[in-house]
Amino acid sequence: MPMKIGDKPFKERVKDGVQQTFARRAVAAAQDGLRERKLNATERDEALGDWETWRRAGEEIRRHTLENLDYYLEQLSENFAARGGHVFFAETAEEAQQYIQSVIKKKNAKRIVKAKSMVTEEISLNEALEEIGCDVLESDLAEYILQLDDHDRPSHIVVPSLHKTKENIRDIFREKKGYSRSEKPEELAAFAREQLREAFLQADVGITGCNFAVADTGSIVLVTNEGNANMVATLPETFIAVMGMERLVPSWEELDVLVTLLCRSAVGQKITTYVTAITPEANNDGADGPKDFHLVIVDGGRSKALGTEFQPILHCIRCGACVNVCPVYRHIGGHAYGSIYQGPVGAVLSPILGGYEEYGELPYASSLCAACTEACPVRIPLHELLIKHRQRYVAGAGHPPAGEKLAMKAFAVGAASPPLFRLAEKLAPAVTAPLKDGDRIRKGPGPLKPWTDIRDFPAPAKDDFRKWFKAHKKEKEGGE
């Protein structure tokens, strides 16, 4: 499966993630920094106005667009085609790969430059292009680092190499590219720039993702800081944009709102250095810029969420704000999710795109603290969607532990019958008495074991609150 990272089972991936103390420190520091920057650019920025109003506007735009997705997709493709561009709808990753391979083969193209794109990660485009003998170069600095490091996988949807420190990067450059300067970010960036500049000029085909497509003009909008996407989209003769089928807006008016939400939520910037719009120009002879435009719109399982309770996850604008506040991501890191989509959005999206067999445990990797829901700039109720996944999982989509099912059934019987519930409460101190060590239980059996593996458990209290309450009321009445 293209979006998959690693082959180990989830519990082992978690263990691996937790043990990487160096990467964890990098993740925690990045989270703290990004969270603070986001707050400064959103809730605390008085010039922006009320952040909640912005979020509601964003939510409304996304809901409207997704509710009318067929209409806007048609409008987008008509407008893109009317200007001479080619549009291809890919139902699967394979279809997308094959189409892009065929475009490249027809041109006898060899040298491909790419800008950062999650959807091309999702469809494993690099591997597919290397298969047909292409030389693919990632031009986003973070992606370039990952590519050099033997195709390491992204650990964050916005900051793909978040798990690497500057010392790691220096070593990768040294080993792979004969780099001899220091770990200073400026020197590292300057070196990468020299390497990349030449490649841009020689490339036959440029491939980018798509932050937003604008339906009423047929434009592809890229939101970046490094400027590499501009090079990718303008220097080679052929331009291919790949987009997830939900990543569009009706018009420039809505784009304005969403770009504002995206930049501020992702990295705490009022606006990124570059916001680039590419609109096909078929009669582009002699002028700068590409002459052949392709737009590949990927379903890849997204339509499975359409019209269901999971539709709101398609509202996601990939800002990563939920990842940046997630306490689980903080401790296990991106790779533990086993998917190119990590954190809360990954835990909701991955089971939809990749199935419960592969990703059924991810919705449980959340304490439901709702920090994600609070952070989301388009108000996706992420923690509620995690619960909805759990509902599907226990209702037959997954394999919940038999003991858990039984316990929940017993819970329901007890909860529907106050006398039974009361009896269980009354029996608890006696039943647990042999386990007690003072006022606590240090070694619990069965379901209590995972708790007492790391924590003490309080022994059930002998005092009976209901008895106390009755006596207290009687005393009060007597006294009055």
| Contacts to another protein by CB under 8 A | 11, 14-15, 18, 32, 325, 327-328, 330-332, 364-371, 373-374, 387, 389-395, 400, 404, 408-409, 411-418, 421, 425, 428, 440, 442, 447-448, 450-451, 453-461, 463-466, 468-469, 472, 476
Identify which of 200, 240, 205 has the alpha carbon closest to the alpha carbon of residue 220: 240
CB nearer another protein, residue 279 or residue 432: 432
CB nearer another protein, residue 170 or residue 388: 388
CB nearer another protein, residue 107 or residue 443: 443
CB nearer another protein, residue 185 or residue 403: 403
CB of residue 403 vs another protein: minimum separation in angstroms? Answer: 12
Q: What is the DSSP string of 426-454?
A: HHHHHHHGGGEETTEESS--GGGHHHHHH
CB of residue 37 vs another protein: minimum separation in angstroms? Answer: 15
Burial 256-279 (b: 16+ CB within 10 A, else e): ebbbbbbbbbbbbbeebeebbebe
CB of residue 355 vs another protein: minimum separation in angstroms? Answer: 17
CB of residue 232 vs another protein: minimum separation in angstroms? Answer: 38
CB nearer another protein, residue 271 or residue 387: 387
CB nearer another protein, residue 133 or residue 458: 458
CA distance 336 to 14: 5
CB of residue 287 vs another protein: minimum separation in angstroms? Answer: 52
Cα 53 to chain center, whole Å? 24
CB nearer another protein, residue 179 or residue 337: 337
Residue 289, C-beta contacts closer than 8 angstroms, at least 6 positions apart: 234, 281
CB of residue 10 vs another protein: minimum separation in angstroms? Answer: 10
CA distance 470 to 475: 9
CB of residue 318 vs another protein: minimum separation in angstroms? Answer: 22
CB of residue 455 vs another protein: minimum separation in angstroms? Answer: 3
CA distance 98 to 383: 36
Structure tokens at 457: 């458990």
CA distance 335 to 354: 16
CB nearer another protein, residue 339 or residue 366: 366
Identify which of 125, 127, 162 has the alpha carbon closest to the alpha carbon of residue 141: 162
CB of residue 143 vs another protein: minimum separation in angstroms? Answer: 28
Eight-class DSSP state of 301: T
Please compute, for residue 30, the number of CA atoms within 13 A of its CA located in the half-sphere on the CB side.
29
Residue 163, C-beta contacts closer than 8 angstroms, at least 6 positions apart: 20, 23, 26, 27, 155, 156, 333, 334, 335
CB nearer another protein, residue 203 or residue 372: 372
Identify which of 212, 146, 240, 210 has the alpha carbon closest to the alpha carbon of residue 378: 212
